[in-house]
């Protein structure tokens, strides 16, 4: 087994995943294609994230921001592969996760140095992805997602956000749909121990539903899988604070701290330096405090 994967011991600590967007249109304003030399910028950002406490780098080349347009696998790979090859050449020590739902992208990235796949559609978008991943001993993050591309609202100050989907029993439906994704993975031959769940904060959920999801994360944890959460800079924080995306640091910190207390194993963040500090203190309080 890849040493990078084996080094993650669930329950020992909370792992920090740093977000690297190889896009021109990230909701958070940090897409590296806005930079004049995007690939060098991405490499420097990866190194900085690792120095600042990241354990995992999550690299994505297709924006999932509200209102974004899908791109081809060819364009996605054109953005991803040069960065992956550069990271491999530099012998980057962190786990490299690729944020994609496309089987062809996943295959080529895994063959060029990636360790994990992070699928925001929980194996429901590309029927070939599960079969492709079964050929590799690679962890897969399965995210819950009921967002609809056209169901987007926009606020001049707070930015765009997905409208909440209809639920009759919110938490039960989230759990059932995550387990349906797990079933797709297992039927395709993906190892049970390679499955990580993400409840999909911000994707087709209202402000109140996002808050409930974090506060009741222990119910997702009870499904028996490691849990990742990604509240970083999300619109529900903007709604609570009445602040734009670049001013949601404290809101992100609060949601991460509570998420860890409720069972999160990985936190996916933009502001690695500061959130790694939040994680360290929260772990000291919740995982390592004296009984």
Q: pLDDT tens for residues 37-57?
A: 767 888 899 999 999 999 999
Work out the mean pLDDT of the chain and round it to a whole number: 89
Name the band, by pLDDT with cuts 50, 70 and 90, for residue 141: very high
Asked whether residue 247 carries a pLDDT value surpassing 80, the answer given is yes
In this prediction, residues 52-80 reach a mean pLDDT of 87
- In this predicted structure, the answer to whether residue 125 has a pLDDT above a threshold of 90 is yes
- Sorted by where each begins, the domain ranges of the chain are 3-285
216 part of the active site: no
Superfamily of chain region 3-285: Dihydropteroate synthase-like (3.20.20.20)
Give the residue-averaged pLDDT of 105-132: 96
**Catalytic option among 234, 247, 262, 280:** 234
Residue 3 has pLDDT above 70, yes or no: no
Predicted local distance difference test score (pLDDT) of residue 162: 58
> In which residue are the tokens 């209809």 written?
166
Percent of the chain with pLDDT over 70: 85
pLDDT category at 132 given cuts 50, 70, 90 is very high
- pLDDT for the residue 71: 85
Question: What pLDDT is stored for residue 154 in this prediction?
Answer: 63
Choosing from 268, 273, 277, 287, the catalytic residue is 268
Say how many C-beta atoms besides its own lie within 10 A of residue 226's C-beta: 20
Please say if the pLDDT value at position 164 is more than 80: no
88 is catalytic: no
Res 23: pLDDT: 79
Q: What is the pLDDT of residues 80-108, one digit of tens each?
A: 999 999 898 888 889 999 999 999 999 99
6-15, 120-129, 243-252: segment of lowest average pLDDT: 6-15
């Amino acid at each position: 087994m890849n040493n990078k994967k084996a080094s993650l011991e669930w329950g020992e600590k909370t792992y920090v995943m740093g977000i690297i967007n190889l896009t021109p249109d990230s909701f958070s304003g940090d897409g590296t294609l806005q930079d004049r030399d995007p690939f060098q910028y991405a490499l420097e950002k990866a190194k900085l994230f690792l120095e600042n406490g990241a354990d995992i780098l999550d690299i994505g080349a297709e924006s999932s921001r509200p209102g974004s347009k899908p791109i081809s696998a060819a364009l996605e790979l054109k953005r991803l592969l040069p960065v992956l090859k550069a990271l491999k050449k530099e012998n980057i020590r962190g786990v490299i996760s690729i944020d994609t739902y496309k089987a062809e992208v996943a295959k080529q990235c895994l063959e060029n140095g990636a360790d994990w796949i992070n699928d925001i559609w929980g194996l429901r978008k590309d029927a070939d992805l599960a079969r492709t991943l079964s050929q590799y001993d690679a962890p897969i993050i399965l995210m819950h997602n009921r967002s609809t591309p056209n169901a987007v609202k926009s606020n001049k100050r707070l930015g765009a956000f997905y409208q909440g989907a209809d639920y009759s029993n919110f938490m039960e439906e989230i759990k059932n749909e995550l387990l349906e994704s797990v079933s797709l993975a297992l039927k395709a031959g993906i190892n049970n121990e390679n499955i990580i769940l993400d409840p999909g904060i911000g994707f087709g959920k209202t402000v109140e539903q996002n808050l409930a999801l974090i506060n009741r994360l222990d119910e997702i944890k009870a499904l028996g899988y490691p849990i990742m959460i990604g509240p970083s800079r999300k619109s529900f924080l903007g709604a609570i604070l009445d602040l734009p995306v670049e001013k949601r640091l404290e809101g992100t910190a609060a949601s991460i701290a509570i998420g860890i207390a409720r069972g999160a194993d990985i936190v996916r963040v933009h502001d690695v330096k500061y959130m790694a500090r939040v994680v360290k203190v929260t772990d000291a309080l919740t995982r390592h405090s004296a009984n």
